[in-house]
A and B are shown apart, each in its own frame.
Chain A
Amino acid sequence: MSREFLMPSLGADMEAGTLVQWRVQPGSRVRRGDVVALVETEKGIIDIESFEDGVVERLSVQPGTRVPVGTALAFFEGEASAVPPAGGAQPVQVAPEPAPALAKAPGVPTMPPREPPPARALRVSPAARARASALGVDVATVQGTGPHGVITLQDVERTAASVSAPARPAAPAAPAQPAVARVGMRNAIAASMSRSKREIPHYYLQLAMDFDPAARWLETFNESRPVPERVLTAVLLIKAAALAAAEKPGFNGYFGASGFTPSASVHMGVAIALRGGGLVAPAILDADRKPLPVLMHELQDLVGRVRAGHMRSSEISSATLTVTSLGDEGTDVIYPVIYPPQVAIVGFGAVLERPWVVEGRIEVRPVLNLTLAADHRVTDGRQGAQFLARIRDWLTRPAEL
């Protein structure tokens, strides 16, 4: 019994991707999380990971081929399957039947039930497609009930209403244009930011803090370490925001058709500007629970891979909250735009020497401006102020980070 390895949807609007390179061959043993292939989307080239263990039986799509989401890219042998595939496996199954042959084979453990998304070319009305994009609904998950099974506006709206907790946030993207990746990325940014400003009632808070304790602590922390192991200010900021988010769930999660769903984990999206223009915000998973050196390593790895165009599929669609900083550019304050379906984004300005009142006297101190843009459907300014204050508190006690 073969299992299909499908072209994944890496965002609500992704309709197709181009297979760039295989990282496995027939016979390769694959573990969950291994990179199986590189796929080009409008977000750049993404490393596609396997969600299962298994052995590659055969590859069904050649590099350079553009295929719709849901197309079988490869077939894996079942983990314990002793039954050879009956006849030629259909690469594209419109409605996969349960495998009766497997059930009859004695002693063969049955495969966990698994429903691949329909691999047929989806028939979606133009209005339904536009609505799905606006609502962050993946059309591959929608059951079409229109004439000839076409997915209609109503089907999309019904699906959106029934989605209680999105397992994976929809990363908005423009219609696929992989041939011009830069244009595609600009379109993706345009689509998600327009959606954000259209749908999310942002409120903004700003808090200036004395960064002296954190700066001094970091200096001491780094002094005793060789250069490659030193930690950047950005990592302190990410960790402080992640810890505060773990304490204030109203800023960490997703807003879907049924309202806000808080996330138990803090997957911190980090806005990374690309040198050729454009912006992505991949996530550092479980950022609140990782020590600073680990975060530093992951951030370096992430920035390097993003700029080289090697993001992992799990990274680009899993952020539960995002931080952004334009400190390198000397910008005092940043007023960021929330990345839907997230509900908040924290901005860090540059750390700049400014007059600061200390015990009734003016002193020169490194000052950092923290900003919060948050979704007023989920939280109010008072909670936002507490959230910002928690980030400040953590940065005031950096040794505890």
Chain B
Amino acid sequence: MADESPSRRLTYREALREGLREALQNDPKVFLMGEDVGRYGGCYAVTKSLLAEFGEERIRDTPLSESAFVGAGIGAALGGMRPIVEIMTVNFSLLALDQIVNNAATLCHMSGGQCPVPVVIRMATGAGRQLAAQHSHSLEGWYAHIPGLRIVAPATLEDARGMLGAALRCPDPVLIFEHIALLNVEGELPERAVQVDIDHAAIRRPGRDITVLTYGASLSKCLEAAAQLSAQGIELEVVDLRTLRPLDDALIVESVRRTHRALIVDEGWRSGSLSAEIGMRIVEQAFFDLDAPIARVCTAEVPIPYPRHLEEAALPSVAQIVAAAAGLVAHES
């Protein structure tokens, strides 16, 4: 990653936009469509200014019908295009579940590989902006249940810019989950884009005591918890899952075998969840390496509340992560 090109200070939102711009520049078959992505610049302003740069043919505003425009995207992909479909939030994507689960995920398999669906669907996910229970949920774990889909969650600026390109190169439908709490996060990013993969998890902070498995906006909370616990002599290894389907079992298991402890931090609910799946895989593959029960910090099992204090109380917090991690190495003498 030691890129020699100079780096600049960008937001996650700008990194997403750079990824879109590069994709549109690199391949004439790429186009973007979704609600308010053109004239309005996207409900989260990710696509701002792209209409002026690329024109109405390639930046297309759609009617308010998720089922229709996701279906159109699937059709375009079947027809040889490389569509990028933006859905405002994961909550609204449920209106397009039939298109995503019954068509996008299946057609390649039902046609014996003759009809791949290389559509890319971007959507906002997560809570933290007081948008209440119909705009704040983290349902990426549901999509991670579906064979035929690839599910990714960029948590860093580099992935925000780079994962789109990898998704477009992938022959399967790829769903990109962009956490709304990350949009304004700033960081350094080299001017020249670095290619990233959508196959592997990444260790964002190495540590010897506990493997913390997380993704999306929870990554920064875990890194903050790791910094606090390091002062107490507890070293967390923070793993950014990056790709939620397929999970990078090899890295997860390798890390847990080293640390002998696992903590899963997921903004999704715990019941029937991605965190449950990860925990089970650890049990299946690394049971005899575990020195403590697997722990989880997840969102409280309530629809995300609107009031700020309740929303904060419902979501995984740095304090909860610190407490859960410390509990795994607690000593009684």
* A130 adjacent to B292 (CB under 8 Å): no
A293 within 8 Å of B (CB atoms): no
How many interface residues does B have (CB within 8 Å)?
13
* Complexed CA–CA distance, A152 and B291 (Å): 6
21 pairs across A/B with beta carbons < 8 Å? A125-B260, A125-B290, A126-B287, A127-B288, A127-B289, A127-B290, A127-B291, A128-B291, A130-B288, A144-B332, A145-B331, A146-B291, A146-B292, A146-B330, A146-B332, A147-B330, A148-B332, A150-B292, A152-B291, A153-B291, A154-B291
Q: Which residues of A contact B327 (CB under 8 A)?
A: 147
* A152 adjacent to B292 (CB under 8 Å): yes
B271 within 8 Å of A (CB atoms): no
Task: Give the residue among B260, B289, B291, B333 with the most A Cβ atoms within 10 A.
Answer: B291
Known: A127-B260, A153-B260. A147 touches B288 (CB 8 A): no
Known: A127-B260, A153-B260. A145 touches B291 (CB 8 A): no
* Complexed CA–CA distance, A147 and B295 (Å): 13
* Complexed CA–CA distance, A146 and B289 (Å): 15
* Complexed CA–CA distance, A288 and B26 (Å): 85
Scan residues 327-369 of chain A and give those whose CB is less than 8 A from a CB of chain B: none
Size bin of chain A's contact surface:
10 to 19
**1/0 contact string of A128-159 vs chain B (CB within 8 Å):** 11100000000000001111111011100000
* A126 adjacent to B289 (CB under 8 Å): yes
Scan residues 126-168 of chain B and give those whose CB is less than 8 A from a CB of chain A: none
* Complexed CA–CA distance, A127 and B330 (Å): 16
Q: List A residues at the B interface (Cβ < 8 Å).
A: 125-130, 144-150, 152-154
Q: Which residues of B contact A152 (CB under 8 A)?
A: 291-292
* Complexed CA–CA distance, A153 and B288 (Å): 11
Task: Give the residue among A128, A129, A146, A149 with the most B Cβ atoms within 10 A.
Answer: A146
* Complexed CA–CA distance, A182 and B195 (Å): 56
* Complexed CA–CA distance, A251 and B287 (Å): 38
- The residue of chain A having its C-beta at the shortest distance from the C-beta of B331 within the complex is A145
* Complexed CA–CA distance, A144 and B330 (Å): 12
* Complexed CA–CA distance, A390 and B168 (Å): 77
Q: Which residues of B contact A126 (CB under 8 A)?
A: 287-291
Known: A127-B260, A153-B260. A146 touches B331 (CB 8 A): yes
CB A161 to nearest CB in B, in angstroms, measures: 17
* A147 adjacent to B292 (CB under 8 Å): yes
B300 within 8 Å of A (CB atoms): no
CB A164 to nearest CB in B, in angstroms, measures: 22
